[in-house]
């Protein structure tokens, strides 16, 4: 469990980091919190020639910012920092709900939010949350910058829109409209495990209590976070009444096509998705269950 030989770089600025990535491309990997990459190197599941440690690119990347209608989470924001940010919790409490289920405090102290997104584990919590909030992934390389949304960012199991020479500089999230409620529900074998299935849901209701917008996404059932559009559709226009919840549960169950593994059969994962959709919607509605 020792990594192969690599050259370690510790650039002092974003530009320097991007230059290294431009130079080494395929042969380089970004090191952020190291909580996924280092185990993969030690297991020799990943072999790299150049490790570009971005931890020193500048303090401006370390804290989340809430400005006007946007929350930005730059590349070095630790998961624990986001979890504990009162400022973010005031506008996007879903992070404080989801993050305690990501690994353990020691790991969240190092692991970054952007790193979790860039790593794109299909059972990870943060990419799932990013799929129900209004998120934009800001990407930089020596070639320039670009933006992608969650649906385009998460492409496959451990695969994102990032090119080898690109860095995810931040995730920007639009502060939800008034009347928006979100919920995060997860079932994992042990505390801190990746989800067997997790569900994030967001619903915006108007003054009459009718849902005008809804997003539901599940982790652990597909190679990327899976939006459950059919379930969303039955919730929109409803008052999140029992009937709508039951219909969403059924729609979720029908929409997913998970694969089984040693931790859960495909059938169990499907059932969990439906149950967690039900529980997330019940929480949104206000029933604490």
Partner 1 sequence: MTGTIGASVKRREDDRLLTGRGRYLDDLDLPDALAIAFLRSPHAHAKINSIDVDEALQAPGVVAVYRGSDLMAIHKPLAPKVQHPMLKELPRYPIPCEEVHYVGEPVAVVVAENRYLAEDALELIDVDYDVLPAISSTAAALAEGAPLAHSDADSNVAVTLTQRCGDAEAALNSAPNRLSGEFRVMRGGGHSMEARAVAARFEPATGQVTVWDTTQSPHYARQQLSMIYEMAEDDIRVIAPPDVGGGFGPKAQFYGEEVVVPWVAMLLGRTVKWVEDRQENFVSAMMERGQTHRIEVGFDDDGKLLAVRDHIEHDQGAYCAGLQVPSITTSTVPGPYKIPNIHTELYACYTNMVPTSSVRGAGRPQAVFAMERMMDRIAEHLDLDPAEVRRRNLIQADEFPYRVGITFRDGSPLTYDSGDFPALLEGTLDKLDYERCKRERDQARAEGRHVGIGIAVYVEGCGLGPYEGAKLRLDNRGKILVTLAAAGQGQGYETVYAQIAAEAIGVDMDLIEVVTGDTGRIPFGQGTFASRITATAGPAVYNAGHQLRERLKDTAAHLLGCAPGDIEFDGDRATFAGDAEKSVSLQEIARVANIGKHGITLPKGIKPAIEVSSYFAPERAAYASGAHAAVVEVDPDTGGVKVLKYVIGHDCGNVINPRLVDGQVIGGFAHGIGNALYEEPVYDAEGQPQAASYLDYTLVSAAEVPRVELFHLHTPSPLNPLGAKGAGEGGTIPAPAAIANAVEDALRSIRHRGGVEDGRPDHSGKQPPGGRARHRLEGDADGARSATIQRSPRIDYAPVTPHRVATAVREAGH
Establish if 29 lies at the interface with ligand FAD (CB under 6 A): yes
Name residues contacting ligand FAD, limited to 233-272 (CB under 6 A).
Answer: none
CA dist 28 and 22 (Å) reads 9
Closer residue to partner 1 in complex, CB, 59/191:
191
The strand pair at 50-53 and 28-31 is best described as parallel
Sheet holding 7-9, edge to edge: 7-9, 50-53, 28-31
Residue 271 interacts, among partner 1, ligand FAD, none and using kind-specific CB cut-offs from 5 to 8 Å, with: partner 1
Within the chain, strands assigned E span 7-9, 28-31, 50-53, 65-67, 70-74, 134-141, 144-149, 154-156, 159-160, 167-174, 180-187, 197-205, 211-219, 226-227
Return residues touching partner 1 (CB under 8 A): 1-5, 43-44, 187, 189-194, 196, 262-265, 267-268, 271-272, 275
Establish if 36 lies at the interface with ligand FAD (CB under 6 A): yes
DSSP string, 155-195: EETTEES--TT-EEEEEEEEPPPTTEEEEEEEE-SSTTSPP
Residue 74 interacts, among partner 1, ligand FAD, none and using kind-specific CB cut-offs from 5 to 8 Å, with: none
CB atoms within 10 A of CB 119: 20
Name residues contacting ligand FAD, limited to 204-233 (CB under 6 A).
Answer: none
Establish if 201 lies at the interface with ligand FAD (CB under 6 A): no
Closer residue to ligand FAD in complex, CB, 128/202:
128
Residue 31 interacts, among ligand FAD, partner 1, none and using kind-specific CB cut-offs from 5 to 8 Å, with: ligand FAD
Establish if 172 lies at the interface with ligand FAD (CB under 6 A): no
Query: Which range binds ligand FAD by CB under 6 A, 8-16, 29-37, 87-95, 278-286?
Result: 29-37
**CB-CB contact of 137 with 110 (8 Å):** no
Tally DSSP H helices, then E strands, for the chain: 12, 14
Which residues here bind ligand FAD, judged by CB under 6 A? 29-37, 39, 75, 102-103, 107, 111-112, 114-116, 118-119, 121, 124-126, 162, 167-168, 192-194
């Amino acid at each position: 469990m020792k990594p192969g030989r690599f050259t370690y770089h510790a650039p002092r600025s974003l530009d320097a980091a991007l230059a290294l990535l431009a130079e080494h491309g395929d042969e380089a990997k970004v090191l952020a919190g190291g909580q996924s990459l280092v185990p993969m190197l030690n297991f020799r599941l990943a072999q790299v020639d150049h490790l570009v440690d971005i931890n020193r690119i500048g303090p401006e990347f370390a804290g989340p910012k809430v400005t006007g209608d946007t929350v930005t989470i730059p590349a070095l924001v630790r998961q624990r920092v986001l979890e504990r940010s009162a400022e973010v919790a005031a506008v996007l409490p879903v992070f404080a709900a989801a993050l305690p289920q990501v690994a353990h405090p020691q790991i969240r102290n190092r692991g970054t939010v952007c790193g979790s997104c860039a790593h794109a584990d299909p059972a990870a919590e943060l990419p799932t949350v990013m799929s129900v909030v209004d998120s934009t992934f800001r990407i930089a390389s020596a070639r320039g910058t670009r933006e992608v949304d969650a649906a385009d960012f998460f492409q496959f199991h451990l695969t994102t829109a990032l090119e080898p020479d690109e860095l995810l500089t931040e995730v920007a999230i639009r502060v939800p409209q008034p009347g928006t409620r979100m919920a995060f529900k997860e079932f994992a074998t042990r505390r801190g495990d990746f989800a067997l299935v997790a569900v994030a849901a967001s619903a915006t209701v108007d003054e009459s209590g009718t849902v005008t917008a809804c997003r539901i996404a599940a982790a652990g059932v597909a190679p990327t976070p899976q939006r459950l559009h059919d379930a969303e559709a039955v919730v929109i226009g409803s008052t999140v009444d029992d009937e709508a919840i039951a219909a969403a549960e059924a729609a979720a169950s029908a929409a997913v096509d998970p694969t089984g593994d040693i931790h859960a059969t495909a059938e169990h994962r499907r059932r969990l998705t439906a149950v967690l959709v039900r529980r997330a919607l019940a929480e949104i509605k206000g029933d604490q269950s």
